[in-house]
Structures are given as C-alpha cells and as structure tokens.
A and B are shown apart, each in its own frame.
Chain A
Amino acid sequence: MKKIKDYLPWIVYFVFFLGIVVVNPGTHYIHLVARVIIFSLYAVAFNLLYGTTGLVSFGHALFYGVGAYITGMLVKATSPEFFLLYILLGAVGAAFVSFFIGLLTLRLTGIYFTMLTLAFAQLVWGLTFKLYHFTGGDDGIQAIAKPALLSGGVTKYYLFSFVVVTICIYILWRIRRSPFGTVLNSIRQNPQRITFLGLNVYKNQLKAFVISAFFAGIAGGLYAGLDGSIHPDMLHWPTSGNAILMATIGGMGTFFGPVVGAGILTGLEEIVGKYTEYWSFYIGLVVLIVVLLFPNGVLGIKRLGGSKNNEEKETEVACNSGN
C-alpha cells in the first residue's frame, strides 16, 4: 500500500535542495541552504527523541557540539584527507557520550529528565571554556581545513553535505517506520502499556537517545567543515533550544516537520537579520504565535481542519492521565 502521497515530502525535499543548485542564486544563499540542510539533520535526529519518543531533551547541543569538536580536532591533529571518517568518528564519540548520559538521565521523567540533560550539556560547555589548551576555550577551533576534493566553492561542500544528510535522514526515516519506531511512538503515547506488552521502555528509550545523539553528532561534524570554525556556543543551551524550536515550528508530529522548521528558523534569522540586529525578538514572537495558535507546527496545520485521528486522541489521553 505505497501511495504517492507517502513519497511527496521526499519529492519536495529533492526538488528544493537540488533545485537550489540548478538555480544557483549565489554563494551566500548556497551557504545559507547548506546551513539549513545541516540543521535539518540535527532537528530530525532530535525529533526522534522529542516528537516520536516524547522525551524533551534540553541538552542536545552537547552531542551536536561533541561531533563538531571531535571532527575539528581530528582534522587539526592530522590531515583533512579522511574528513568523512572523522565526521563518523565524531558521531561515534557523540553516541558514546550519550550512552552514559542516557543511562543516568533516562531514570528520570518529565521536567527532571529535561533539567538533567541541560545540566550535563552545560557542564561540558563549561569545561570546554576552561580547558583552554585542549579545546581552544572561547576562541574555539579556527581554520579547519577541508579535503582537496571539497575545497574551493561552497557548492561542492553543499552537495557533499546534501548527500550525507540525505543518507542519514533516509536511515532515520526507515527507523521511524520500523517496528522499533512504532515502539518508540507507543512509548510516548502510553509507556505503561508498552511495559505490559513485555517491552523494556528504558532500553528502547536509551537506544533512541543514542541513535539521536549519533546523527546530531554527524550534523555537528558537517557544520565544523562548513565554515571551518567551531566555537563553544555550539554546546551552549540556546543551541539545544533551537532543536526544540525547529522541531516544534515545523511540526513535531511529522517526520519532515523539523526540516521545514530548520528552513524557517534559518530563513528568519537571515531575513530579519538584514533589517535589524534584534532578530531574536522576532524569533520569539514567531515561537509565541506557533505555541499559541499552531501547536502542531507548520506541517501539522492541515490536521486542525479535519477531525482528529485516533493517534492524537490516544496521545492526549496518555498525557493527561499521567498528571
């Protein structure tokens, strides 16, 4: 039962992100879309945890930043020839860190989980500042070289990012549609019932946490190569907040929502940033409007008109009975 409708988002995805190269609006805009696609991976990876499993992590910048720092430091320490390998190593590093943090944080639920993830991320952010000789402190790491194949012109690096991100998003899409993805979705709706069905909620959440961190790490590694520089702000809490913003603005209940959210957030920063330095004021206003009027996000708007499907009803029951 594969309908064309199921693949529509993919078609739009390819048309937009490849079309931009064909149209070629100039280096500045290619660079902008490169940021969008990297943030898309970060947001989609985060949404596996947030929209699907129902875990509000406020420390995802940690994994994004760890991916970026490992990639950046490895390139600095050796040569940029194995750039792709270093991105993978960065992601493995992020996954490794997330395993131990997940072990501890997932013992808690709700706001306690959120606060503990925030604490770990802020701890590493603080350490990054203090360990000047190792991480470069508040200077970050500058002049991260790209391999010869990717250097010269941002379009090459954009296409490279596009390929990597697309593969990752495809894997995440398959995960979301696998039986494991269904389990994660059910954990959000009714964790008790999953336990009664004989499945281990904690283990499955931990898997989702590690997978999500792995792909966030890849996004971080890609970002390290884009500008050739990384800084501790990538680990700071607004970066974690951005993941939540992107997923919510786009629609956390949909798979491609975070991609749309990444586009909107980056676009807003760009457009508003041209006219005023107070762009975060306008981002705040947009978030406020989304939270008040479109809680299902941009891709969730169409659902408001129609009747609610069973899934949403169940979610409401599960969430309300818990409190």
Chain B
Amino acid sequence: MDINTFIAQFLSGLSTAMLLFLISSGLTLIFGVVNVLNFAHGSFYLLGTYFAYQLMQLFDNFWVGLLVGAVGAGIVGMIIEFLFLRRIYGRAQEGAFQLLMTFAFILILDDVVKFIWGTEYKTIPKPASLVGSLNIGSVTVPTYNIFIIIVGLLVVLFAWYFLTKTDTGKTVRASSLDRIMLGLLGTNVPMIMTLVFGVATAMGGLAGVLAAPLRTVTPGAGVEFIIDSMIVVVIGGFGNFWGALLGALIIGEVLSFGILWMPELATVLTFIVMIIVLIVKPEGLLAKRAVGRK
C-alpha cells in the first residue's frame, strides 16, 4: 500500500471514528452518570435522522435539519428517562430490567419510525457547501468527511471544557462518583440525570443526521450502528468518556483498514477486537479500577 492510499484510508477511518464517538460518548455518559446501559441509543440516532429528513422536506435546509434532529432526539430522550427509566433505578436485578426496558424502546421507537415514515429508503443530500473534495497534498478527501472530523473534534473540545472547567460539568462528574453524597449536598440529582440523558441522546441524534448523507436512511440504520458503538464503549471502558474516544478511533480504523485487507470479514473483525480486549482487560482500556472481574 502506498502512502497516499494509507492517508486516504486513515482519514476515512477517522470520519467513521468521529461518528462512532458521537454515539458512544453519549452511551458512555449515560452509563457513567445514570448507570444505565442504553440499548435503545440506536433508536435516538434513528430519530435524529428522520426528524432531520422531515425538516428538510419542509425547509430544504441541512443546518435546520441538523439542529432539529439533535434537539428532537434529546427531548424524546429526556421524556423517556423522566417517565419510564427513572422508575426502575435501584431495583433488584436492575441490569436485566434496564436491558428489557431499553429493548422495549427499540421495538417501540423503530416501529413508530416505520409507521410514520415508511420502510422505503430515504436520502438526505449533503449541503451544497460541503459537496466535492479537498486535495491534501496528493490525497483527495471528500469535503464532507473533513467536516465530520471537524465536528467530532469540536465536540471533543467542548466536552473537555464542559466536564473539567465548568461547575455543571463538575457536578455531572460528581454524580457518577457518588450520587447519594451529591444529593445530600443539595444538588437535584434526578434532574442532572435527566439532563445528561437528554444531552447524550441529542448527541446520538446529531450523529444520525451527520451520517445520513453517507448512508441510506432506513428504519434498520440505528441497530447497525449501535452494535459498533457498544463495542467502542466496551473497549474504552464503561462510563469512561476518553475511553470512548480511544475506542472509537480503534474501531473506526479497524473498519476502514479491515475493508481494504479483508473485505469479507471487516464487520467480524470489530467483534474479535472486543473479545480480545474483554479477555485481556475486561474493564476496558482506559478504566482505572478493576471492575466486573471476579
């Protein structure tokens, strides 16, 4: 492989990685703060896509779609957390019930999408300003991929600033460490959890809109992406924000280069990476404590 192909493939992997990061960082935030493994996260990705599609039918503007897709998915997420998930926190065998409840929401939301928008393929075109490609040295890269990478980096920067520099960010981190103590100090912890759920699902919705021009929009799209994001979260370490970034980079590049070398087995490769990580370091690459081990 010559260096140009390598760079092109690397950048393509990087844009996949950024999309994966947007979804999996939401997943990992929810797990860290709310202590829920949200299997239905892919459905919010899906909702984001379809909200954007609907808005673009009305206004024909990608940026409005992007905003509404993300905000809409976040609002639905907050409603679901507030009305349903909240009721099973702290129950015996909570893990199984979380799995079931979020599984129920996959069934419900995916069918609602089918009901409203139908099963046929939809397309969301790239915004006119991002069509075409850029030349970096002798490598040609689609402008839209660069745009996704930039958005991803902006989210990383913003999240870093929010979580480490602002008071609200510190409260969010505190609630992942000791919910009871934080509550005793006078913080409205349930509200923080609802907000975090909303922000995380909004990021899922944002990823859904961003990915739409690159893939076809179908009701099954959420499920395809969610499995890869689960793998990212597991590799990086549950609840670990920076772990999600590292995991997304690994899986994005594995997918990108895997398709080049072993087109047959690219999707299987990600599972193999996950299995290796779980056997060698079950708590994930960036987790500090040894959790989940016997």
Contact = CB atoms under 8 A, between A and B. Distances in A.
A111 B95 contact: yes
A56 B292 contact: no
Given A116-B278, A295-B97, A130 B268 contact: yes
Nearest to A315: B92
Interface stretch (A72-80, A147-155, A283-291): A283-291
Contacts of A168: none
A288 B97 contact: no
Contacts of B107: 280-281, 283-284, 287
Interface string A217-248: 00000000000000000000100010011001
Contacts of A284: 103-108, 111
B294 interface: yes
A125 B112 CA distance: 27
Contact of B282 (A107, A201, A285): A107
Contacts of B59: none
Contacts of A116: 275, 278, 282
A119 B271 contact: yes
A24 interface: no
Interface stretch (B163-171, B226-234, B249-257): B226-234
A110 interface: yes
Chief secondary structure at chain A's binding surface: helix
B274 interface: yes
B141 interface: no
Interface in A97-114: 104, 107-114
B101 A288 contact: yes
A112 B282 contact: yes
A288 B282 contact: no
A294 to B, nearest CB: 12
Given A119-B271, A281-B107, A288-B101, 9 more contacts: A56-B99, A104-B279, A111-B95, A115-B230, A119-B274, A202-B294, A244-B96, A281-B111, A292-B84
Interface of A: 50, 54, 56, 58, 104, 107-116, 118-120, 122-123, 126-127, 130, 201-202, 237, 241, 244-245, 248, 252, 278, 280-281, 283-285, 287-288, 290-292, 295, 315-316, 319-320, 323
